[in-house]
Amino acid sequence: GLGDISQTVSATGTLNPVVLVRVGTQVSGTVSKLHADFNDRVHAGEVLVELDDALFRAQVQQSEANVGNAEATLELTAANEARMRPLRRQGFISEQELDQAEAAAKSARAQLALAQAQLEKDRTNLGYTVIRSPVAGVVVDRQVDVGQTVAASFQTPTLFLIAQDLSRMQIDSSFAEADIGNIRVAQPVGFKVDAFPDRTFQGTVKLIRLNPVTQQNVVTYDVVMAVDNPDEILLPGMTAYVNIAVARRQGVPVVPNAALRFRPAEPVPAAAPPRGHEGPTATVYVLEDDQLRRVGIVPGISDNRYTEVLSGELAAGARVVVEDRQGAVAASTPVGIFQTRLF
């Protein structure tokens, strides 16, 4: 008969925030205060954690003293240079003595600049003891406690994970190379999650990554799908069971998939191949006058229940056999033991 059919490709994936920010520390120290916890909503610039700053304050004070000392040295050497110049013009001192005074003043200026740079660095490090959220979002993970020592290194330790916006999420999945050619950006996506088994959520294909992933000689491609989550009931880390409709047909001839799998116990004379169409063929069996007749068809797209018939000698109303209810039967067995479907 005629029907609507949709062919899909399936995969599993993981729901993730679109933007997940790892908040770390740029200085080492001991955690003294925590200002955020799991599931807290934070604003950009909001304080998340404070480190013990006693050593950093002491370093700033030392650098401030060094700057004061450098300023005093510069003032002294600059004054000495200023006194030397007229004395040199009057011939009371040698050129070497003036050069030494000028060099001392230049060195004092350099030492002052160095001390000021160190002070700026120490003030910056002091500021780093207060760790703020770089974005507005939700704290999805906290990996630090009060009293814990954190060490800044080449791999900055992660203190917090912040999801920027849980109302928009994405599914990270992978599809086999046999299916990837049917997937296009902006295709609609349907998916389910274990937490809500009776509900189908919707999304769209956002990105097909070109870099292949090969594991045990199996090639797959990563696909990212955009998902709206206005109620924020979908949570990071959930497993998504994805279906993407890659082909649709409406009002086309279809047969049950069970009819393509059916094989009688006794051989039935072969049917002529479908005419006017090239490509792979399949076989179904129809019941006519209590006899099985073998019919060749050219199948089209298929879903879990039906397969499209592109061509073949199936007439409207034909009784297509889908099941042998008694096991081994002959082609001439009466109608009653076969389960059939009208085509």
Which tops the pLDDT comparison, 325 or 95?
A: 95
How much is the pLDDT for 240?
Answer: 98
pLDDT confidence band for 336 (50 / 70 / 90): very low
pLDDT confidence band for 139 (50 / 70 / 90): very high
pLDDT tens string 80-121: 999 999 998 998 899 999 999 999 999 999 999 999 999 999
Rounded Cα distance, 303 and 7, in Å: 5
Q: Would you say 203 and 191 are in contact if contact means Cβ atoms under 8 Å apart?
A: yes
The pair of structure tokens assigned to 247 is: 């082909």
Average model confidence (pLDDT) across the chain: 89
Closest CA to 188 of 238, 248, 230: 248
The pair of structure tokens assigned to 233 is: 């009931």
Which tops the pLDDT comparison, 88 or 73?
A: 73
pLDDT tens string 7-26: 899 999 999 999 999 999 99
How much is the pLDDT for 341?
Answer: 58
Burial of 301-340, coded b for 16+ CB within 10 Å and e otherwise, reads bbbeebbbbbbbebeeebbbbbebeeeebebebeeeebeb
pLDDT tens string 181-204: 999 999 999 999 999 999 999 999
Q: What is the DSSP string of 53-103?
A: -HHHHHHHHHHHHHHHHHHHHHHHHHHHHHHHHHHHHTTSS-HHHHHHHHH
Closest CA to 133 of 155, 156, 164: 164
Residue 220 has pLDDT above 70, yes or no: yes
Q: Report the percent of the chain where pLDDT is more than 90.
A: 66
pLDDT confidence band for 335 (50 / 70 / 90): very low
**Residue 137 neighbours by CB distance under 10 Å:** 23
What average pLDDT does this structure show over 35-49?
96
What average pLDDT does this structure show over 61-79?
97
pLDDT tens string 221-241: 999 999 999 999 999 999 999
Domains of the chain: 2-18+167-250 (2.40.30.170), 20-51+129-164 (2.40.50.100), 53-128 (1.10.287.470), 252-342 (2.40.420)
Helix or strand run (H / E) with residue 156:
none
pLDDT confidence band for 27 (50 / 70 / 90): very high
Residue 259 has pLDDT above 80, yes or no: yes
Maximal C-alpha separation, the chain: 137
Residue 277 has pLDDT above 60, yes or no: no
What average pLDDT does this structure show over 43-55?
97
Q: Are strands 338-342 and 196-215 parallel, antiparallel or unpaired?
A: unpaired
First vs last Cα of the chain: how many Å apart? 4
Rounded Cα distance, 171 and 15, in Å: 5
Give the number of C-alpha atoms closer than 13 A to the C-alpha of residue 22, restricted to the C-beta side: 8
How much is the pLDDT for 340?
Answer: 55
Residue 273 has pLDDT above 70, yes or no: no
pLDDT confidence band for 343 (50 / 70 / 90): low
Helix or strand run (H / E) with residue 333:
none
How much is the pLDDT for 328?
Answer: 39
How much is the pLDDT for 304?
Answer: 81
How much is the pLDDT for 263?
Answer: 86
Q: Would you say 8 and 188 are in contact if contact means Cβ atoms under 8 Å apart?
A: no
How much is the pLDDT for 337?
Answer: 40
How much is the pLDDT for 200?
Answer: 97
